[in-house]
Amino acid sequence: MSFTVAIVGRPNVGKSTLFNRLVGKRLALVDDAPGVTRDRREGEARLGDLSFRVFDTAGLETGADNSLAARMTRQSERAVADADVALLLIDARAGVMAADRHFAQRLRRGRTPVILVANKCEGRAANPGLLEAFELGLGEPIAISAEHGEGLADLHDALAARVRAAADAADGTAEETARPLQLAVVGRPNVGKSTLINRLVGEERLLAGPEAGITRDAIAVPFAFAGRAIRLIDTAGLRRRPRVQDKVEKLSVADTQRAIRYAEIVVLVIDGTSGLEKQDLTIAADVVEEGRGMVIAVNKWDAVAQPDASLRTIRDRLATSLPQVRGIPLVTVSAREGRNLDALMRAVLALAEIWNRRVGTADMNRWLEVAVAQHPPPLVAGRPIRIRYATQIKTRPPTFALFVSKPQDLPDSYVRYLVNSLRDSFGLDGVPIRTVMRKGKNPYAAAG
């Protein structure tokens, strides 16, 4: 396992800015408003010749036992416990606050080694705060500017000995593993996405609660099911676009859309007590447009009064609203009770196999011969459209090229017939199928 570093500190000291600097890309949401980060985000970091895994965490705050602030703090403390070293970040321009002293004392009592980092040290205004940092009892602070990339050489030196010692201990023991399945969990706010992931991984890994909109970042969580490595990605709830006004929510929506784009399979979580709403269908259409495989998890099924009628209504509306993807898997679950989650994951793995399926060219053309014989293409100006050849040009999603004499004249209705026939013949239900029409070469063109 790689060396891990947790970045912790009170809100708005620059933790996410440092995280983005270390991973080399803008993964974590950054805004002037405090408390933007709420869950632990992970990324692969590089600092000079060092490679390690880094955790961005929520700001450390005090609060009542079950308040959102207290739950966020517990998540951050769990990240520290899981890490090999913690970076306690303070704002040198603001100076040492009471919250810095409080959490420095808690970190000193823990088992994880702590490196004190004073951020925002560009310019003389940070000097008094840098001197104050010595009173935290964590040794000499490392002066950096995460925003401008200053002081990272000193941070490198502080981490180097620990990273290399861990690498030497692990040398020769790491085994190559299969690339994990990228599985994004999406849906409207408060449908139970984070609760579902917590149940799957068997711990309170993500913040969950009755408040809508707790999740803001797209958070990746490692998981395994039936021997398959999976990267679960929790996402912010997607509301109707006219209702998204807040700047942070706009950033969250963009993060969720990026998670969908880079996923392989998407679990769309809907609220079984309210059925399939218009916003659910909008999200589903976006997933299909991106070409991702999709499983629909109907959550809160333990609270549904008329299960049979509700399920029938959901299936009917799905068939009417998304006819382009027939056979989308639908699994009823209760994330709170942990019911039917194995069935959900089996559906995910089965769909991943279909999404990656490749059909041989010989089988494709035998299918094409039968499909065209059963239902020939229409005539154009009294002459038939000829489909000469078919082949699969890519997977993820399955994409097929058809070589047609007049591709521009082939009606959409006939293309839909071919797609449905492909589904029936090769077991491709539940995934988007893309077709590319290419003009076949005229064997007499060169003879003119």
Tell me: do 199 and 341 sit in the same domain.
Answer: yes
Beta bridge partners of 46: 51
Q: Do the domain assignments include residue 22?
A: yes
Question: 87: which strand partners?
Answer: 7, 115
pLDDT digits (tens, 9 = 90+) for 97-118: 988 988 888 888 888 888 999 9
Question: Tokens for 349?
Answer: 């793995």
C-alpha–C-alpha distance, residues 215 and 237, integer Å: 7
Q: What is the pLDDT of residues 352-377, one digit of tens each?
A: 999 999 898 889 999 999 999 999 99
Peptide linkage before 397 cis (omega within 30 of 0): yes
Tens-digit pLDDT profile for residues 390-424: 998 888 899 999 999 989 999 999 999 999 999 99
pLDDT in tens, 29-46: 444 444 444 456 788 888
**164 plus 212 within the same structural domain:** no
Predicted pLDDT at 431 = 94
Amino acid at 433: I
Facing residues of 436 across strands?
A: 401
Q: Is residue 56 within 8 Å of 87, Cβ to Cβ?
A: no
**Residue 186: inside a domain:** yes
Q: 């602070």: which residue's tokens?
A: 141
Residue pair 30/20 in contact (Cβ under 8 Å)? The answer is yes
CATH code of 423's domain: 3.30.300.20
Do residues 134 and 14 both lie within one domain?
yes
257-273 burial: b if 16+ Cβ within 10 Å, else e:
bebbeebbbbbbbbbbe
pLDDT of residue 116: 93
pLDDT tens string 264-300? 999 999 999 999 999 999 999 999 999 999 999 999 9
The pLDDT assigned to 41 comes to 77
Domain presence at residue 176: no
CB 112 within 8 A of CB 84: yes
Cα(17)–Cα(325) distance, rounded to whole angstroms?
Answer: 41
Q: Residue 119 and residue 12: Cα distance in Å, rounded?
A: 11
Based on C-alpha coordinates, what's the Rg of the chain?
A: 27
The answer to whether position 175 is within a domain reads: no
Q: How confident is the model at residue 244 (pLDDT cuts 50, 70, 90)?
A: low
Q: How far apart are CA 420 and CA 319, in angstroms?
A: 14
With both helix axes pointing from N to C terminus, report the angle between 341-355 and 193-201 in degrees, rounded to the nearest 10.
Answer: 100
The confidence score (pLDDT) of residue 214 equals: 47
Classify residue 141 by its DSSP letter.
P
Task: Give me the half-sphere count of Cα atoms (radius 13 Å) on the Cβ side of residue 277.
Answer: 14
Are both 118 and 89 inside the same structural domain?
yes
Length of the chain in terms of residues written: 448
Phi-psi region at 123: left, alpha or beta (left = phi > 0; alpha = psi -120 to 50)? left
Mean of the per-residue pLDDT values of the chain: 83
pLDDT above 90 as % of the chain: 46
CA dihedral for 324, 327, 332, 338, sign (positive or negative): negative
Inter-residue contact 63 to 102 (CB < 8 Å):
no
Question: Where among 142, 170, 198 does a domain terminate?
Answer: 170
pLDDT, tens only, 298-316 = 999 999 999 999 999 999 9
pTM of structure: 0.64
Of 314, 334, 355, the position where a domain reaches its end is 355
Question: Is residue 142 located within the same domain as residue 263?
Answer: no
Does 94 fall in a domain? yes
Residues 339 and 384 placed together within one structural domain of the fold: no
What pLDDT sits at residue 175? Answer: 41
pLDDT at residue 447 greater than cutoff 50:
no
Does 343 lie in the same domain as 206?
yes
Residue with tokens 């209705």: 413
Lowest mean pLDDT among 31-40, 61-70, 236-245: 31-40
Give residue 27's pLDDT.
59
| Residues 239-260, mean pLDDT to the nearest whole number | 70
Residue pair 228/181 in contact by the 8 Å Cβ criterion: yes
Strands (E), 12-68: 41-47, 50-56
Assess if residue 420 is contained within a domain.
yes
pLDDT (mean) for 429-439:
91
Min mean pLDDT across 77-91, 179-193, 230-244 is at: 230-244
Last residue of a domain, one of 299, 322, 355: 355
pLDDT band at 60 (very low <50, low <70, confident <90, very high): low
Beta-sheet pairing, 85-91 with 50-56: unpaired
Which DSSP category does 34 fall into? T
pLDDT at 108: 83
**Predicted pLDDT of residue 377:** 93
CATH assignment of the domain containing 283: 3.40.50.300
Tell me the per-residue pLDDT of 129-175, one tens digit each, with 9 for 90 and over: 988 888 888 888 999 999 999 999 889 988 886 676 566 555 544 44
Instruction: With beta carbons less than 8 A apart as the criterion, state whether 46 and 136 touch.
Output: no
> Domain tally for the chain?
3
pLDDT of residue 31: 43
Could you tell me the maximum CA-CA distance found in the chain, to the nearest angstrom? 90
199 and 346 assigned to the same domain: yes
- Whether residues 297 and 408 share a domain: the answer is no
pLDDT at position 124 is: 86
What pLDDT was estimated at residue 37? 45
In a domain, 249, yes or no: yes
The SS3 call for residue 294 is: strand
Are the beta carbons of 362 and 322 closer than 8 angstroms? Answer: no
Identify the domain containing residue 219 by its residue range.
Answer: 181-355
- Are 325 and 188 members of one domain? yes
Q: Are residues 15 and 132 in the same domain?
A: yes
**DSSP reduced 3-state for 4:** strand
Tokens of 36: 């933007």
Q: Are 436 and 402 in contact (CB under 8 A)?
A: yes
